[in-house]
Amino acid sequence: METHISWVLLAGRYAYKIKKSVDLGFLDFMDLSSRRHYCGEELRLNRRLAPQLYLDVIPLGGTQEMPEIGAEPAIEYAVKMRRFAASQQLDRLAERGNILPEHMDSLASTIAHFHNGLPSAEPTAGLGSAAATYAAVLQTFKQLQAALAGTENEARVAGLRQAIETEYGVRKEHLERRLAEGFVRECHGDLHLGNIALIRGQPVPFDCIEFSPSLRWIDVMNEVAFTVMDLLHRQRSELAYRFLNAYLEATGDYGGLPLLPLYLAYRAAVRAMVNAIRAGQANLPKRDKAAALAACSSFLDLATACLAQQCPALIITHGLPGSGKTAFSQAALERLQAIRIRSDVERKRLFGLVALADSRSHTGGIYHAEATARTYARLHDLARELLAAGFPVIVDAAFLKREEREHFRMLADELAAPFAIASLKASSETMQSRIVKRQSESSDASEADLGVLKLLQEKEEVLAPQELAYTVEFVNEKEGFGSEDSIWKKLEGLLYGR
């Protein structure tokens, strides 16, 4: 197997990855000593996420005509890996339509845990600063423009470069703030679907960036953007937003989202560059060259789209425990490419608890009136930030009080964003059944029991006549979430006039 920077030899149970003697500007493998060094770095870094795959660095001796694995003196070095089925790489699975929603949930959990365990970059080290991010962007476009000089895409690259530089100018201070707040870490650096394999049913990232600290020490949102971008490029926006929201729910890093359009465009430009370099390699068959150029062009299209003006909107849910609010919001975030904020999760986060933690361990409890007020205030602040950044937002909370609903309607009005209430209805029997099942499985952040359901049924403030004008009712009696397409179209009509 061959990429633009390496060969991979497949031999029985093992694979041997050999670095090419190339200097592409952003990496330099010209010397044997540098190739040996970066083999060692590849082993060290990839063992963080895929220790079961990365085994050793070994010499290749003998002669170029008759090389011997493990012999010395070395004429080359290779990373020895445990071989896995290429058909299980997520890019191959995506081509066959075999990526499942649970794969995205598992991947998001893995990456969130990985990022949370990484040390932050020292702000004075020069890694992950606004200037370093800008330098990486400029390097990408330098390579792109050189590879596409004289082609029909040359002018498009120049226009995209100007657009991404404008976005960088808007976000420069935010980039510096993220570095100071500790969100720049030694990440994987190359988290597209081709670098993730399904092993024993679990997505395992491999082949991280070893050759450039500046491309590896990045904002965690820059990392997440690569996976999201790749899924968008493959027309799987529902999986992209499922992955993104699962990651955000696990980390609480909503503050990185204003940078997402910049990072999505940058990551699309990176893949355009890789394909452009591939198309220009000597002795490449015409068919492969045409495919690489077509891929390059499609990535340029996506990069341009990611920087286009977004359409913010605000949806709040309304419903009793067990009525299906979270099932609705999951379906809605995937359909509308939105960001969801869950009251059950953010309430626990305010008190230092993870989503599935038992709140009875917290002294004083987390469900008293003051805690509820703090939770809704947090949801309001997050919604404001995300709407201002241009995102559609779904706030998943009970919103049983008219005052709570009005507070968020006024926020949407203030920011000139469309507003809708998604009111979830289910029979008492269905809600009770769901609550009992949820408690027995301990699989959700909600801790409402049957006593809470009875109490809230008595306290619920029904929707006022004026609220019905911007309310869509979803009857949810089935397991999971399903609704007629006409109901979804009514919601989309309220938000986007379509």
Mean pLDDT of 284-291: 92
Mean pLDDT of 232-247: 98
- Residue 262 is predicted with a pLDDT of 97
Mean pLDDT of 407-418: 97
Q: Which of helix, strand or coil describes residue 23? A: strand
Q: Is the pLDDT of residue 193 over 90?
A: yes
Predicted confidence (pLDDT) per residue in 35-58, tens digit = 999 999 999 999 999 999 999 999
- Residue 26 is predicted with a pLDDT of 78
Alpha carbons 18 and 223: distance in angstroms, whole number: 25
Mean pLDDT of 206-215: 94
Contact present, 320 and 458 (Cβ < 8 Å): no
In the chain, the amino acid numbered 193 is L
Mean pLDDT of 164-171: 96
Residue boundaries of the structural domains of the chain: 6-83, 87-306, 313-496
Longest Cα pair distance anywhere in the chain, in angstroms?
84
3-state secondary structure 449-496: CHHHHHHHHHHCCCCCHHHHHHEEEEECCCCCCCCCHHHHHHHHHHHH
Mean pLDDT of 93-119: 97
Second CATH level (architecture) for the domain 313-496? 3-Layer(aba) Sandwich (3.40)
Region of 219 on the Ramachandran plot (φ > 0 left; ψ -120 to 50 alpha; else beta): beta
Between β-strands 313-318 and 392-396, what pairing exists: parallel, antiparallel or unpaired?
A: parallel
3-state secondary structure 319-346: CCCCCCHHHHHHHHHHHHCCEEEEHHHH
- Residue 252 is predicted with a pLDDT of 97
The band of 152, judged by pLDDT with boundaries at 50, 70 and 90, is: confident
State residue 18 phi and psi, 5-degree precision: -115, 130
Angle at 191 between CA 185 and CA 193, to 5 degrees: 165
Name the CATH code of domain 87-306 (choices 3.60.20.10, 3.30.1490.20, 3.90.1200.10, 3.40.50.300).
3.90.1200.10
**Which percentage of the chain shows pLDDT scores above 70?**
99
- Least confident segment among 18-22, 129-133, 356-360: 356-360
The band of 480, judged by pLDDT with boundaries at 50, 70 and 90, is: low
- B/e letters for 17-33, b = 16+ CB within 10 Å, e = fewer, are bbbbeeeeebbebeeee
Contact present, 39 and 78 (Cβ < 8 Å): yes
Residue reference for tokens 């529902």: 238
Mean pLDDT of 4-13: 91
Angle at 329 between CA 240 and CA 456, to 5 degrees: 155
Mean pLDDT of 346-350: 96
Alpha carbons 379 and 396: distance in angstroms, whole number: 9
Closest residue by Cα to residue 240 from 315, 346, 336: 336
Q: Is the pLDDT of residue 498 over 70?
A: no
Contact present, 121 and 179 (Cβ < 8 Å): yes
- Residue 364 is predicted with a pLDDT of 77
Alpha carbons within 13 angstroms on the beta-carbon side of residue 198 total: 16
Alpha carbons 141 and 67: distance in angstroms, whole number: 38
**Which CA distances in Å does 353 have to 31, 85, 342, 376, 468?**
50, 39, 14, 17, 36
Mean pLDDT of 400-415: 97
CB atoms inside a 10 Å sphere around CB 163: 16
pTM (2 decimals)? 0.94
Alpha carbons 456 and 155: distance in angstroms, whole number: 60
Angle at 252 between CA 122 and CA 109, to 5 degrees: 95
Q: Is the pLDDT of residue 239 over 90?
A: yes
Alpha carbons 392 and 418: distance in angstroms, whole number: 9
417 Cβ contact partners less than 8 Å away, ≥ 6 residues apart: 312, 313, 314, 387
Predicted confidence (pLDDT) per residue in 306-322, tens digit = 998 788 999 999 999 99
Alpha carbons 106 and 383: distance in angstroms, whole number: 26
Region of 63 on the Ramachandran plot (φ > 0 left; ψ -120 to 50 alpha; else beta): beta
Predicted confidence (pLDDT) per residue in 11-28, tens digit = 999 999 999 999 988 789
The mean pLDDT value of the chain amounts to: 94
**Which percentage of the chain shows pLDDT scores above 90?**
87
Instruction: Look up residue 163 and give its two tokens.
Output: 């657009």
Contact present, 359 and 365 (Cβ < 8 Å): yes
Q: Is the pLDDT of residue 4 over 90?
A: no
Mean pLDDT of 346-366: 88
